[in-house]
A = this chain, B = another copy of it.
């Protein structure tokens, strides 16, 4: 084993944060077609609510378990954006590690997302946390699973939007 080997296998918290940050900027700044590239294939991407999680209810607002489904979401959002232009801004707080192994890391990250409409309105769009299982493939961090747990249950306009 050479000196470079560990960094290809082990995930550090700093790398995990960097992956998370790049993910958030891709959602906010685009191109959204890069979004699926943050995940393994197959993967598990899920949006749910805190009440559902606490009651162990399996219901999800969005669920994708492979990259093709993620690309379908991208296409849906890009079509929806034609009709109602607006911007999103994710703000992440510090992460907390839930479990850690050499080649994988499970952590949670509180976030809020602010939405700005072109006409000047701005509102607090959502708040919650990510629960992420990150792995390393060929030296790159990837989400093996990402669960978006929303604090609230106001979900009507969320359906098409990756978070």
Contact = CB atoms under 8 A, between A and B. Distances in A.
Interface stretch (A64-72, A76-84, A151-159): A151-159
Contacts of A117: 152
Tell me what chain A mostly uses at the interface: helix, strand, loop, or mixed. strand
A29 B109 CA distance: 12
A111 interface: yes
Given A21-B94, A94-B17, A96-B21, A127 B122 contact: yes
A162 interface: no
A89 B129 contact: yes
B108 A91 contact: no
Contacts of A25: 96, 108, 110
Given A120-B153, A122-B127, A94 B96 contact: no
B116 A89 contact: no
Interface in A119-147: 120-124, 126-129
A127 B88 CA distance: 9
Given A28-B110, A120-B152, A93 B90 contact: yes
